């Protein structure tokens, strides 16, 4: 038999074997997986996003699980899709969620309204399944649940959250894409499914300690939640590349999951804000020597001085030299973009802003490779794609995305969400998913726009912007945070949280007068606003108004919550101690007593306050009260010889000479220098003209009596 026939026969026999094996496994009820598991991360547990419920009319429904409402919109849809209905799931992070608002003004919410008007022949169920802080690996896990709910289309807007959670990668990340692709194809067979289960079972039984995927908690545990500001982020180019590889894998995996149930996928290329959006964190390039760093700082300082003085050309020349020394500093590239922007070199400015985004050590904006990966997966899989990034650039002044379409670094304005929804609708029409009715036109779009915008509540919008301002303030972006808070105040002038947030941002920027206006308005609107009272008190201190400071410190204590009271008490005690010291040092002893007494009452374990109170009471000839305060101070700080000496003086002046001598003896034993100190008991009596009594004390000390 010719060799070619032998080879052909072997192929046919092998193929027949696997066909029979597949048929046998099918008869046994084995179902193909259709998609691979994520080999890079696992989860300690999984709780479903949607749980069974019943509508008022008895219709079985699926609704957002109560324990998920902190991260997801409240959604509901029939458990069984009606005939002729089209079910669309929108996935992503907080942008797709609609943050800082909610589903109503998200692109998902807009699309729901537009589809109902554009194609009324079908019943459209558009479900917002986006989760705040969700990255692609969590979205892929969620899709494993959603695929069982009869989806027709998945819209994926993802890429901003890939660096939010701490994780590591082993050797798996180096698996070639072609090999991973073969795994995806193999996962569509029952044979692969059985073999996979067997291997996983053997691995668990062996438990040989081999490195496996990072196991993440059931819900997001962002690095941002573990620190004050982006301090935990450091440059790691190797990890960055692995994250991008994982993101590529996740997108492809989500496409496989969707196609496993014959659902379509539309990808969205995520844009970011470039203009008026400084990086979150910068680091110098590795290996920058001290001399070069010094020169870099000199050039950067010179550039900022020149720019402030209206000499942008000189500023740019200095920044070009600085960037030549260190081309990895994100804030340097951002400032370079600002200078180019001012010079009208907008294309160059956009490239500098993009470099600032990509060098940001805390990448909370999707870096450039993310958009490229989305486009690449779309091309590889032949998927429809909405290049939202290009759309935003086209509609932004000078082609640089900024305030006009973004609320912050990544979250679009309501108008931006509407623009994306219309772009998605256009793609759905092009793909034949939607057949627009004759009545669908610009007039219909305008009518829906007026309905949506008319339904918005100014107070709710102000609350959302205030929340967003807090997030940016936490990250140290105070200028942007203040702008959002001021917008919130403009929307809802009666909002106490908005005024407080605006005051806080202005305060942290050193604009104390502006801060005080907002704090004062907050306490006028709500006299029990303890946070505003507390910060207003500190502002009064900065302005040198002690009376105003004391008044608002006391109000903060009166209205504050238990967790904040220690801080408020400490602030007032500190101020009263200072005021008491000022009065005492100026000889106003009687005036200092109540000030020290209030400080000691606010902080009963403050030995300094008790000591100063005792000293002031001695000065106004109230020795036994002084002794009581000093004894309390010594219970807190028993080794303080100076306080013990003052106690001896107070006891002696109060007629308790034996106790006084005992305390003085102990004070001198602890610190022999007190015997020669002017305020030592013996010297105190001599200076007071009570020499015979001083001699009596000395005799008692010498006799041990």
Per residue in 339-348, pLDDT tens?
999 999 999 9
For 18-64, write each residue's pLDDT tens digit.
556 555 555 555 455 555 666 666 666 788 999 999 999 999 999 99
The beta-carbon contacts of 524-530 under 8 Å, at least 24 apart in sequence, are 525/494, 525/496, 525/499, 526/496, 527/555, 527/559, 528/559, 529/496, 529/500, 529/559, 530/555, 530/556, 530/558, 530/559, 530/560, 530/561, 530/564, 530/568
Residue 193 pLDDT: 53
- Inter-residue long-range contacts of 229-233, CB under 8 Å, 24+ positions, other chains counted: 229/474, 229/475, 229/476, 230/280, 230/281, 230/361, 230/362, 230/364, 230/475, 230/476, 232/166, 233/163, 233/280, 233/281, 233/361, 233/362, 233/363
What the block records as the tokens of 257 is 């999951």
Residues 365, 409 contacting (CB under 8 angstroms): yes
Residue 544 main-chain phi, psi, to 5 deg = 80, 15
- Give the tens place of pLDDT for each residue, 534-568: 999 999 999 999 999 999 999 999 999 999 999 99
CATH number at residue 240: 3.40.50.1110
Each residue's pLDDT tens digit, 287-335: 999 999 999 999 999 999 999 999 999 999 999 999 999 999 999 999 9
Is there a contact between 328 and 284 (Cβ–Cβ < 8 Å)? yes
For residues 659 and 631, give the distance between their C-alpha atoms in angstroms, rounded to a whole number: 12
Looking at the domain assignment, is residue 607 inside a domain?
no
| Summary mean pLDDT of the chain | 88
Q: Residue 215 forms beta bridges with which residues?
A: 42
Last residue of a domain, one of 560, 589, 620: 560
Domain count, the chain: 4
CA-angle at 231, arms to 226 and 233, nearest 5°: 90
Q: Are residues 225 and 247 in the same domain?
A: yes
What is the pLDDT averaged over residues 108-124? 96
Q: Give CA separation, 366 vs 70, 285, 360, 372, in Å.
A: 23, 21, 10, 11
**pTM, rounded to two decimals:** 0.79
- Which residues are CB-contacts of 130 (< 8 A; sequence separation ≥ 6)? 72, 73, 90, 91, 92, 93, 94, 95, 96, 97, 98, 106, 108, 157
Query: 273 and 388: one domain?
Result: yes
CA distance 670 to 639: 7
Is the domain of 160 the same as that of 228?
A: yes
Phi, psi of 165 (to 5 degrees): -110, 145
Residues 228, 100: one domain?
Answer: yes
Beta carbons of 609 and 573 less than 8 angstroms apart: yes
Instruction: Answer for the pair 366, 410: CB distance below 8 angstroms, yes or no.
Output: yes
Same-domain pairing of 542 and 411: no
DSSP state at residue 85: E
* Domain match, 370 and 248 both: yes
Residue 131 CA to chain centroid, in angstroms?
A: 15
In a domain, 232, yes or no: yes
| DSSP E strand boundaries for 517-627 | none
- The residue with tokens 């502002």 is 539
> Looking at the structure, do residues 399 and 351 belong to the same domain, yes or no?
no
Are 390 and 332 members of one domain? no
| Cβ 62 vs Cβ 49: under 8 Å | no
- CATH of residue 468's domain is 1.25.40.10
Angle at 648 between CA 647 and CA 652, to 5 degrees: 115
Q: How far apart are CA 159 and CA 364, in angstroms?
A: 10
User: Can you give the pLDDT at residue 233?
Assistant: 86
The gap from C-alpha 110 to its chain's centroid, in whole angstroms, comes to 27
Same domain, 449 and 462: no
The answer to whether the CB of 549 falls within 8 A of the CB of 595 is no
Range of the domain at 659: 639-705
Alpha carbons 674 and 705: distance in angstroms, whole number: 20
DSSP symbols for 336-370: HHHHHHHTT-HHHHHHHHHHHHHH-SS--S--HHH
- Per-residue pLDDT, 523: 97
pLDDT digits (tens, 9 = 90+) for 455-472: 989 999 999 999 999 988
Q: Cα separations (Å) of 650 from 325, 596, 602, 614, 680?
A: 68, 17, 24, 8, 12
pLDDT score, position 262: 96
**Confidence band for 682, pLDDT divided at 50, 70 and 90:** confident
506 and 486 in a single domain? The answer is yes
Q: Residue for token digits 């206006």?
A: 517
* Block residue for tokens 């942007």: 480
- Whether 535 maps to a domain, the answer reads yes
In a domain, 598, yes or no: no
The verdict on residue 73 lying in a domain is no
Tokens 């308790």 sit on residue: 656
- Angle at CA 691, nearest 5°, toward 686 and 694? 75
- The answer, yes or no, to whether residue 175 has pLDDT greater than 90, is no
Q: How far apart are CA 385 and CA 382, in angstroms?
A: 9
- Please tell me whether the peptide bond between 74 and the residue prior to it is cis, using omega within 30 degrees of 0: no
668 lies in some domain = yes
Judge if 110 and 253 occupy the same domain: yes
Domain termination residue (choose one: 519, 545, 560): 560
DSSP-derived letter for residue 61 is E
Domain final position from 308, 340, 359? 359
Query: Side by side, which strands form the sheet with 76-78?
Result: 50-54, 60-64, 76-78
Residue 389: band (very low, low, confident or very high) from pLDDT cuts 50, 70, 90: very high
Asked, for residue 539, whether it belongs to a domain, the answer is: yes
User: Quick one: 242 and 138 in the same domain?
Assistant: yes
Q: Is residue 385 a contact partner of residue 307, using CB atoms and an 8 Å limit?
A: no
Residue 339 lies in a domain: yes
Percent of the chain with pLDDT over 90: 73
């Amino acid at each position: 038999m010719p060799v070619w026939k032998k080879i052909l026969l072997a192929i046919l026999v092998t193929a027949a074997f696997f066909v029979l094996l597949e048929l046998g496994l099918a008869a046994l009820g084995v179902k193909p997986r259709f998609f691979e598991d994520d080999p890079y991360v696992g989860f300690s547990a999984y709780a479903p996003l949607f749980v069974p419920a019943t509508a008022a009319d008895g219709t079985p429904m699926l609704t957002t699980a109560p324990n998920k409402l902190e991260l997801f919109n409240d959604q509901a849809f029939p458990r069984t899709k009606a005939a002729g209905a089209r079910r669309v799931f929108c996935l992503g992070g907080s942008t797709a969620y609609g943050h800082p608002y909610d589903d109503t003004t998200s692109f998902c919410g807009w699309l729901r309204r537009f589809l109902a008007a554009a194609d009324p022949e079908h019943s459209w169920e558009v479900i917002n399944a986006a989760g705040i802080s969700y990255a692609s690996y969590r979205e892929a896990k969620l899709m494993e649940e959603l695929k069982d709910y009869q989806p027709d289309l998945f819209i994926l807007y993802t890429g901003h959250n890939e660096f939010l959670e701490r994780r590591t990668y082993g050797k798996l990340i180096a698996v070639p894409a072609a090999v991973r692709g073969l795994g995806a194809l193999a996962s569509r067979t029952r044979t692969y499914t059985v073999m996979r289960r067997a291997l996983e079972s053997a691995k668990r039984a062996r438990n040989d300690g081999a490195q496996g995927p990072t196991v993440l908690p059931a819900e997001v545990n962002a690095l941002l939640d573990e620190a004050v500001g982006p301090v935990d982020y450091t440059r790691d180019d190797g990890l960055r590349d692995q994250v991008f590889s994982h993101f590529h894998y996740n997108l492809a995996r989500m496409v496989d999951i969707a196609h496993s149930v014959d659902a379509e996928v539309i990808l969205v290329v995520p844009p970011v804000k470039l203009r008026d959006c400084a990086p979150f964190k910068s680091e110098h390039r590795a290996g920058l020597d001290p001399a070069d760093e010094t020169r870099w700082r000199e050039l950067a300082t010179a550039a900022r001085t020149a720019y402030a003085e209206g000499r942008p050309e000189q500023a740019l020349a200095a920044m070009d030299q600085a960037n030549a020394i260190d081309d990895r500093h994100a804030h340097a590239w951002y400032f370079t973009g600002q200078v180019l922007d001012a010079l009208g070199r907008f294309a160059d400015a956009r490239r500098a802003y993009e470099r600032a985004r990509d060098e940001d050590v805390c990448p909370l904006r999707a870096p450039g490779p993310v958009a490229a990966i989305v486009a690449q997966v779309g091309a590889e899989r032949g998927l429809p794609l909405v290049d939202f990034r290009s759309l935003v650039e086209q509609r932004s002044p000078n082609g640089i995305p900024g305030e006009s379409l973004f609320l912050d670094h990544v979250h679009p304005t309501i108008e931006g969400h509407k623009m994306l929804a219309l772009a998605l609708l256009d793609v759905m029409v092009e793909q034949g998913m939607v057949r627009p009715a004759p009545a669908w036109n610009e007039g219909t779009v305008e009518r829906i726009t007026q309905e949506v915008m008319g339904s918005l509540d100014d107070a709710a919008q102000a609350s959302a912007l205030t929340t967003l301002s807090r997030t940016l303030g936490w990250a140290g972006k105070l200028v942007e945070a203040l702008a959002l808070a001021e917008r919130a105040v403009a929307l809802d002038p009666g909002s106490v949280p908005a005024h407080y947030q605006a005051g806080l941002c202005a305060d942290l920027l050193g604009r104390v007068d502006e801060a005080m206006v907002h704090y004062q308005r907050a306490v006028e609107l709500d006299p029990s606003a303890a946070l505003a009272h507390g910060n207003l008190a500190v502002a009064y201190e900065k302005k040198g108004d002690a009376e105003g400071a004391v008044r608002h410190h006391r109000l903060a204590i009166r209205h504050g919550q238990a967790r904040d009271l220690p801080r408020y008490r400490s602030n007032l005690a500190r101020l009263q101690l200072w005021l008491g010291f000022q009065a005492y040092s100026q000889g106003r002893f009687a005036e200092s007593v109540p000030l020290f007494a209030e400080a000691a009452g606010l902080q009963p374990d403050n030995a300094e306050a008790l000591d100063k109170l005792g000293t002031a009471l001695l000065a106004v000839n109230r020795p036994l009260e002084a002794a009581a305060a000093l004894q309390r101070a010594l219970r807190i700080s028993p080794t303080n010889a100076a306080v013990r000496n003052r106690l001896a003086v107070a006891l002696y002046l109060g007629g308790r000479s034996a106790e006084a001598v005992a305390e003085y003896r102990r004070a001198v034993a602890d610190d022999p220098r007190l015997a020669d100190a002017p305020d030592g008991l013996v010297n105190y009596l001599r200076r007071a003209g009570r020499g015979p009594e001083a001699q009596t004390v000395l005799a008692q000390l010498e006799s041990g009596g």
